[in-house]
Amino acid sequence: MRNRLAPLPLLGLSMLLLAAWSVYAPGLHGGFLFDDWGNLPALGATGPVDCWPTFWRYITSGIADPTGRPLTLLTFLIDASNWPASPYPFKRTNLILHLFNGMLLYALLTKLGQLLALETSRYRTAALLGTALWLLHPLLVSTTLYIVQREAMLPATCVLAGLLIWLHGRYQLAAGRLGPGLLWSAVGLGGFTLLGVLAKANGALLPFYALLIEFTIAAPRQAFAGTRARKTHRALIWVFAIVPALMITAYIVWIGVHGTLTGGPALRPWTYAQRLLTEPRVLIDYLQLLWAPRPFSSGLFNDQYVASTSLLHPATTLPAIIVVLAMIGGAWWLRRHHPALALAVLFYFAGQLLESTSIPLELYFEHRNYVPAMLMFWPLGLWLADTRTLKIAKYTLMVVLPLGLAWMTHARAEVWGNVQKQALIWAQINPESPRAQANAAQIEMQSGQPQEAIARLQAILASHPEQSQLVFNLIGARCMTGGLHAGDLTAARTAMLGTANVGSLFIHWFDRVLPVVMAGDCPGLTAPDLLSLIDAGLQNPNLSGAGPQQDLTYLRGRIALAQHHADAALADFQHALALQVRPGIALEAAATLGAAGYPRQGLLMLNYYEQIRTKAMPAGFGMPMVHRWVLAREHYWSHELAQLSKQLKLDANADSDNTARSNSAQKPLH
């Protein structure tokens, strides 16, 4: 009988994976979104990644986290080696990774069920149900189909694999096999924590998860064969779990205390203290989405989320804090009698430690639930798998719950596969989100509906006059419908004077609109008008940092160059370079001058860089330092500068020859 039943779990898991692929399939045809555009172009930033020099330049180019997340960057090479590229392969790989994570989760839940000493049929059924409810949950669509969030999925892979390997090593130690047990345990906890961190910083939470499994399930049920094995395991837990967990906890506490004492983080509309007050509300919202799922949610747009300013504002702040603390305390208290439930609750809150506490990230993102929710539905699976009571009801729920989640996930995936429909639905769900409305307006303009975009932007701009993304998109829509109206430029200057962070939005908008303005194709918008917007940004105290000032000053030079004022453009470019000395800026400015027909000014730009290159800004800690070392070892910048200088000299000499021939032709004959 045992042999006949053995294939059934694998058959069930195979059917689950096939179902998950089917419900996600419509979303594979969607496009790139937001942070995709900020990260994936690195694939072609220094040329196609088709040789070792470009590989090392690419793999060290990450700037997120001190590590730069090189493991995530490495996996993008599965899908493309140059930019631009098609989004389909990236999304397909994300889905494959999601299914693989489901397989690992099933293995982990099976192992945990074995530790609980449950009946084989029950723990396998519970593992399959727990995996199904996680794998098919609609909340995870915004992780799986959002290409750049592979950086949230890979830590899940490392966490699951690391826990499985560690549990195998723990079993070896418990049986008295010290050598293999120590090796497996060290690789699981140490090696896969490191791999997880190389994908994203929250991979560092693996030691927390191991400690929770240790204290809620493993330690009370798995004895060690001898004092030496027990001491070895204890030492390993201290080195690879307790000490890292204490260090991370101390870091989080330090960030919160130091930030609260010093005020709000730069470029955020809230303080550290307000973030700490807000996050319990956010966690309650996440839990509601997990346990009361719906086909559609706010998706990627959560900039309208209101921060808590005190324990009573909003009124849900204090109750949310009490509920979160009660859940954590209650789970710890129940760990002996209800270990699976306690583990699921504690695992969830441990998984939110880095992204939902004191570190000043944005307040709310759905993808932050991908790892924390992995054990969320396992206790429900264990209850349903115990069919000694309520047999019919439980069998019904075993079918209805996965099917219901699959239907909602399929509906959400269809939206993710249709860029226009996605933008409009998100704008409808998030009426107070400037990002959602600006995104929908862009889609409407691309679809030849500028009037609809104008109506949308005007409606929200009245309550968000400081949002530059709204007013710049409004100007773009106006240009499509005959020109600017009275007050549009005033609104744009107001936004530039008050915006908290213009980011890359203004630069991308500027790149699109400058040729239109110089061609006279947007009545009411001139080069001096663009210059006035830049000057307003330069006066904005929120944009007083060297980075924003450099970007805006560089754009002044672009306007001067478009007006054929090459010397004025050179002066602005040099001023911009002096604010943050970087070889990339010098190269871009010199190449831009040369392409516009001013190679001599381009050479002067390179000469200026040579004069001040010793003042180059230092590389940031971590991967940026490695990246700079790679570039220096390859002589990348010196080669690029030499090549550009050579070309500019050839162009300058050609101009001199042409000028000389022209002057000679104009001399009078005697």
pLDDT in tens, 269-323: 899 999 999 999 999 999 999 999 999 888 888 888 999 999 999 999 999 999 9
Cβ neighbours for 85, distance < 8 A, ≥ 6 positions apart: 40, 43, 79
Residue 279's nearest CA partner among 208, 184, 170, 355 is 355
Percent of the residues in the chain that have a pLDDT greater than 90, as a whole number: 83
Cβ pair 68, 628 in contact under 8 A: no
Q: What confidence category does residue 587 fall into, taking pLDDT thresholds of 50, 70 and 90?
A: very high
As beta bridge partners, residue 310 has 313
pLDDT in tens, 534-551: 999 999 998 888 899 999
3-class secondary structure for 503-543?
A: CCHHHHHHHHHHHHHHCCCCCCCCHHHHHHHHHHHHHCHHH
User: What string of DSSP letters covers 113-145?
Assistant: HHHTT--HHHHHHHHHHHHHHHHT-GGGHHHHS
Q: What confidence category does residue 190 fall into, taking pLDDT thresholds of 50, 70 and 90?
A: very high
* Pairs from 543-546 (Cβ < 8 Å, separation ≥ 24): 543/499, 543/501, 543/502, 545/266, 546/579, 546/580
Cβ neighbours for 552, distance < 8 A, ≥ 6 positions apart: 502, 506, 534, 537, 538, 543
As beta bridge partners, residue 47 has 45
Cβ pair 421, 299 in contact under 8 A: no
Cβ pair 24, 414 in contact under 8 A: no
Residue 664 has pLDDT above 70, yes or no: no
Distance between CA atoms of residues 196 and 211, nearest Å: 17
User: Which amino acid belongs to residue 428?
Assistant: Q
As beta bridge partners, residue 45 has 47
Residue 82's nearest CA partner among 58, 46, 49 is 49
Question: CA angle 203-271-436, nearest 5°?
Answer: 75
Residue 171's nearest CA partner among 130, 103, 114 is 114
Residue 424 has pLDDT above 70, yes or no: yes
Residue 660 has pLDDT above 60, yes or no: no
For residue 87, count CB atoms less than 10 angstroms from its CB and return exposed for 0-12, middle for 13-18, buried for 19 or more.
buried
Q: What confidence category does residue 509 fall into, taking pLDDT thresholds of 50, 70 and 90?
A: confident
Cβ neighbours for 238, distance < 8 A, ≥ 6 positions apart: none
CB atoms within 10 A of CB 653: 11
Distance between CA atoms of residues 341 and 418, nearest Å: 39
User: Which amino acid belongs to residue 66?
Assistant: P
Residue with tokens 């070309």: 647
User: Which amino acid belongs to residue 665?
Assistant: A
C-alpha count within 13 angstroms, C-beta hemisphere, residue 493: 14
Domains annotated on the chain, with CATH: 12-415 (no CATH), 430-655 (1.25.40)
Residue 148 has pLDDT above 60, yes or no: yes
pLDDT in tens, 71-93: 999 999 999 999 999 999 999 99
Distance between CA atoms of residues 112 and 118, nearest Å: 10
Residue 453's nearest CA partner among 440, 463, 466 is 440
Q: Which whole number is the average pLDDT over 161-166? A: 98
Cβ pair 543, 502 in contact under 8 A: yes
The pLDDT score that the predictor gives to residue 667 is 54
Cα of 472 vs its chain's centroid, Å: 25
Distance between CA atoms of residues 44 and 47, nearest Å: 5
Q: What confidence category does residue 506 fall into, taking pLDDT thresholds of 50, 70 and 90?
A: confident
Distance between CA atoms of residues 264 and 272, nearest Å: 6
Distance between CA atoms of residues 444 and 446, nearest Å: 5
Residue 468's nearest CA partner among 490, 499, 437 is 499
3-class secondary structure for 232-301?
A: HHHHHHHHHHHHHHHHHHHHHHHHHHHHHHHCCCCCCCCCHHHHHHHHHHHHHHHHHHHHCCCCCCCCCC
The pLDDT score that the predictor gives to residue 659 is 59
Please give the model's pTM, rounded to 2 decimal places. 0.93
Report phi then psi at 67, rounded to 5. -80, -20
Residue 212's nearest CA partner among 285, 288, 115 is 115
Residue 3 has pLDDT above 60, yes or no: no
Number of continuous H segments (helices) and E segments (strands) in the chain: 33, 0
The pLDDT score that the predictor gives to residue 655 is 72
How distant, in Å, are the alpha carbons of 3, 93, 138, 300, 604 from that of 34?
51, 19, 20, 9, 37
Q: What confidence category does residue 616 fall into, taking pLDDT thresholds of 50, 70 and 90?
A: confident
CB atoms within 10 A of CB 479: 21
